[in-house]
Amino acid sequence: MLHALSTANFTRALAAACSFCISGLLTEGEARDQTTAFIVHGTPRTCSAITQLDSALSSRYQAFFAGWTEQDYADAVAWAEACSDYGWHVPGQPRVPLLHAQHDKMLGPAPSPTMSSAAFAAAVTRPIVRAEVLTRPRMKWSALHELPSDGSAVIGFDAAITSHYADTLPDIARRFDLGYEEIVRANPGVDIWLPGEGTRILLPGRHPVPPGSREGVVVNLAEQRLYYFPKPRKNEKPMVITYPVSIGKMGESTPLGQTVITAKVERPSWYPPASVRKEHAERGDLLPAVVGPGSDNPLGEFMMRLGFGDGSYEIHGTNRPVSIGMATTNGCIGMYPEDVAALFKLVGVGTPVRLINVPVNARNLTR
């Protein structure tokens, strides 16, 4: 059996055409004539095109599968499962088993999956739908965005999925690199911890590019979102990478202003300040003077120290991913573990960091 447990197909496939904006918050408008599409081997594939797969499988046309990876086969399984009512099948040989056989022929047997392809299809979120899928084949849900060349100050797009019975809004938020408050505000009336099977979940994927210089790291506290502007190489288009973050709670706000990254530490130890130890002690939670690396360390696996004050402000991971997108820290900037790991590799000591507080509203989310 093919190891088709990745959720990459629905994060790659292009998301539901619903337009809504933050502030009021939702102005919803479904696009007509929507097309369900999967990205298989870098190409958008609709259910009407499933006959191409059927033909290649039945004729053993190997050129169709040239260069396919494990992920391509996993995406093809999701495509085949979702389009079971389309195309033609080889009598007695449904397309998914044929895909498994083709995978094994080209790449060798895959490790035993933890669930069947049918269970996989039921366990992941439904395919994302977007009207422009065939006219915008390169568009995909990602933290990386090309900076608009038309002068627009908005990146990304809004989308929608349907939830599975085991999903929570924080689960979905992390899957799509959204913060807790972002996804909760976008889905009023949806139970945070039990959205339920088949509930339509809106994903607020549009973000205003922060004003000012586009270099290094910019954190907009009002948006609870970090932007990194990598320096483009010659002939490269400028890009921006954006991640949700947690910020300082009331009374321990994250400072504003310009600074730089002064140090990078992998698997850091945490030295809780006296005020934090006192606060915990009042709750009956006695903290040690030093918390080493591991699951109890709120800094996570990666930390980047900022040049503010005495160096006590940091960008770091977390051992509580549900807190990302909220004002819960003691002034530092928290990130999902996978996001801080990615950023840690991209930035160096001396990278400029600018912290701003620019409110997000409907006007600055229009293109």
SS3 at position 161: strand
d(CA 298, CA 287): 12
**Which listed CATH number (3.60.20.10, 3.10.350.10, 3.30.70.20, 3.10.20.30) goes with 158-205?**
3.10.350.10
Which pLDDT band, with edges at 50, 70 and 90, does 193 fall under? Answer: very high
Render pLDDT for 82-106 as a digit per residue (tens, 0 to 9): 777 676 555 556 788 888 888 888 8
CA 191: distance to chain centroid?
Answer: 21
Q: Which of 60-64, 234-238, 303-307 has the lowest mean pLDDT?
A: 60-64
Q: Among the ranges 120-124, 285-289, 324-328, 363-367, which has the highest mean pLDDT value?
A: 324-328
Catalytic choice (3, 164, 207, 316) = 316
SS3 at position 323: helix
Question: DSSP string of 193-253?
Answer: S---TT-EEEE---EEPPSS--SEEEEETTTTEEEEEPPPPTTPPPEEEEEE-BEEPTTSP
- Please give the pLDDT value at position 89: 54
Angle, vertex CA 23, rays to CA 153 and CA 251, nearest 5: 100
Joined tokens for residue 144: 């990386």
Catalytic choice (18, 47, 83, 332) = 332
Residue 332 designated active-site: yes
Q: Do domains 158-205 and 213-365 have the same CATH topology?
A: no
Render pLDDT for 268-310 as a digit per residue (tens, 0 to 9): 988 888 878 888 888 888 888 888 888 888 899 999 999 987 8
What are the structural domain ranges in the chain?
A: 8-123, 158-205, 213-365
Query: Angle at which helices 95-107 and 70-82 pack, to 10 degrees?
Result: 170
Render pLDDT for 237-253 as a digit per residue (tens, 0 to 9): 899 999 999 999 887 88
d(CA 329, CA 279): 13
Residue range 216-230: mean pLDDT, rounded: 96
Strands 327-329, 247-248: pairing kind? parallel
- Please give the pLDDT value at position 41: 77
Bond preceding residue 25 cis, omega within 30 of 0: yes
- Please give the pLDDT value at position 118: 35
Residue 12 has pLDDT above 50, yes or no: no
In terms of Cα–Cα distance, which of 158, 182, 168, 166 is closest to 324? 182
Render pLDDT for 169-182 as a digit per residue (tens, 0 to 9): 999 999 889 999 99
- Please give the pLDDT value at position 215: 94
d(CA 198, CA 162): 5
Mean pLDDT of the chain: 76
CATH level 3 topology of 213-365: L,D-transpeptidase catalytic domain-like (2.40.440)
Q: How many CB atoms lie within 10 A of CB 318?
A: 24
Residue 21 designated active-site: no
d(CA 51, CA 14): 21
- Please give the pLDDT value at position 27: 30
Joined tokens for residue 171: 């689960």
Residues forming beta bridges with residue 261, ordered by sequence position: 306
- Please give the pLDDT value at position 350: 96
In this prediction the pTM is: 0.62
